[in-house]
Chains A and B, each alone.
Chain A
Amino acid sequence: MLEIRFHGRGGQGAKTASQLLAVAFLEAGRFVQAFPEYGPERTGAPMMAYTRVDERPIRLHAAISEPDVVVVLDPSLVLEQNVTEGLGSQGFLVVNSGGLGSRVILPDIEGIVLAVPADELAEKSGTRHANTVMAGAVAALLGEPSLEQLLGAVDDVLARLPESLRLHNRQSVQEGYTYGVNALRTLDASSAKKPVHPAPQPARDTQAAHGPKLGRAGALIRPGDYPVPLTGGWRMGKKPAVFLNRCVNCLLCWQFCPDGAVVVDGTTFLGFDYAYCKGCEICDAVCPTKAVVMIDEESPVGSLGQLKEVSAS
């Protein structure tokens, strides 16, 4: 059985990518499964989607905990989660290196790691979503399904989209596929011994083999038992910053920040905690003195997002 796990954020189309591959594999005569796991379904929230492929009916319906292939649609997730958890030594890790790409250090795993500039390739094809690019790249790496089967799946899965959007998505699948095929040549040369197609695994058809590793459901979780998940990766290109000299310490930003990302010491405003700030801009909207400004994600700032006023004179 081949098991593919997608890591994405709500709104990035990981579910669609998992379905695309499944439908294309179906076309190739395989038994397939595709389903998402959202937890709370929120735009920007980390989520996972799964594709299973086998030569015989699949009776396992649990989430995929030991994937053969891990696909990461948003590079910031590599910083937040252990995306390679359970990935076998012969596994593939395929990461979209767009956006934050240059800052992401890919995990060092035994298997094959491929970074795909999927945001760029998507843009080139006229879409905003990297998901279809990534589906194309994964198919190329695996050697199956074929490009034709994938393109057929685009028409099928995205049947409700307007024709023009579907065309863009066909284009982006193709871009991803071509990128994958080219990458494969270099991979083959440099790591000749690594099998390109995951070796067939014995079918793991029992739920027990896939039981949760995190402890029993219903267990008592005490505050502090588990790390608090970071939510800074939800931001979409802007972050808040502050000119402290303009701040009158009214704490309205603290009051209304949904994410507890306004840092206060006792009763004094200090700045922002980018590990949690989701970039909603409420602090900017409520600040009575315009001390808060929204700036580009990549702009340099002092600690806690503090800025120095450059005097006009």
Chain B
Amino acid sequence: MANIKEMAAHSQIDPRFGSGHSLCRGCGIPSIVRTVLSSIPGPVAVINATSCLEVATTRYPFTAWKIPWMHVAFENSAAVASGVEAAYHALKARGELSEPMTLVVFAGDGGTYDIGLQALSGALERGHRFIYVCYDNEAYMNTGIQRSSATPFGASTTTSPAGRAAMGKPEPRKNIVEIVAAHRIPYVAQAAMSHWQDLSNKVQRAYHAEGPAFLNVLSACPPGWGHEPRDAVRVVRLAVDSGYWPLVEVIEGHWRLSYRPSERVPVMQWLTLQGRFRHLFQPDQEEALEKIQTIIDDEWERMTQRDAQSASWFASEQARRWEVLPTLPDSWEPRLGEPMWEHFRKTPNPA
């Protein structure tokens, strides 16, 4: 487990993602990227799908990335990662490379749920070893807030506008975690930018997975969701605490909730913070509001059932291998310039 202080120290000793990018004021993506990258020991290479992250961090001739980074297109980041992984193994086999490498894909929901799904499915089925991180801001934000299949029911976007004829997106979002889990890969998880410790733990499990690992991480988007930049963390936390965004993991096919709010807050608290749901608070929209609560309740019910079904497996010896190892000795005092992450490399892979 990497805590905030270790991540902060890591990001100074081994900077991987920096300042000077053009992501919006209050964007949720950078904290996800930093948490992911500073939870991974050893060298990392990043494949980035076309998205806000890609466009805003690599404004030619500048770059916010301090590690090898590659972008090819919107739809094929998982295929690119497959190729890079194959090349890595080939170079290693020829003796031209000996260092370990973790391959991380960052893609948006559009690039994952929609246009990149075929490439992703292929790569998962072939079993390439990489950590695929979908930062989910629930729409095509870079091109100006168009609906994606991750956009929730009722949300207004430029292509599912709320008005006289419609009340935002009429379809519920699709469940990408179930789709990915159906590929029977070793590790699948859903996380949120607000719950950084949970996210960091999940990244470390993904790192240890011998095969593809997938993380779907909720990321705030002030202009796209219609909230103040300062509320970015609060909005995402409410998504989790209302049960709209369950924090789950699927380990070797076994589902569990990694976090359970002590009491689920009414989804209204989450909805009212965001302009994309504003139209739902006009008269005559009770039905839509009820439907949103029902979608969430049903989903929560399904998750708790699955969680209960897996309880015995998670108590088993097999599950123990997935406990996140303490990655640093207790006595460790971080000092700048010290190769603290050497420790990681020496930590045996539990698998």
Contacts and interface: CB of A to CB of B under 8 A. Distances in A.
A228 B29 contact: no
Contact of B19 (A44, A261, A265): A261
Given A221-B63, A226-B61, A281 B230 contact: yes
Interface in B20-66: 20-31, 34-35, 52, 55-56, 59-66
Nearest to A219: B61
Dominant secondary structure of chain A at its interface with chain B: loop
Nearest to A279: B25
B231 interface: yes
Contacts of A39: 22, 55, 59
Interface string B307-351: 000000000000000000000000000111000000000000000
Contact of A280 (B8, B17, B63, B229): B229
A82 to B, nearest CB: 14
Given A234-B25, A266-B334, A255 B35 contact: yes
Interface string A186-218: 000000000000000000000000000011010
B241 to A, nearest CB: 15
Nearest to A267: B5
B9 interface: yes
A44 B223 CA distance: 12
Interface residues of B, number: 52
Contact of B233 (A230, A256, A279): A256
B232 A282 contact: yes
B9 A266 contact: yes
Given A45-B22, A260-B30, A276-B20, A286 B62 contact: no
A295 to B, nearest CB: 15
A256 B232 contact: yes
Given A258-B27, A285-B234, A42 B56 contact: yes
Interface in A265-293: 265-267, 273, 275-276, 278-282, 284-286
A258 B34 CA distance: 9
Given A230-B20, A258-B30, A279-B25, A284 B230 contact: yes
A284 B228 CA distance: 13
B142 interface: yes
A276 B62 CA distance: 15
B18 interface: yes
Nearest to B23: A258
A270 B28 CA distance: 23
Given A255-B35, A259-B30, A266-B335, A280 B55 contact: no
Given A282-B233, A285-B232, 8 more contacts: A42-B56, A44-B25, A223-B65, A226-B61, A256-B193, A260-B18, A267-B9, A275-B19
15 contacts: A42-B24, A43-B24, A44-B24, A214-B61, A225-B61, A251-B8, A252-B4, A255-B7, A259-B30, A260-B18, A261-B19, A265-B336, A275-B19, A280-B230, A285-B231
Top 4 closest pairs, chain A to chain B, by CB: A228-B20, A281-B230, A260-B19, A280-B26
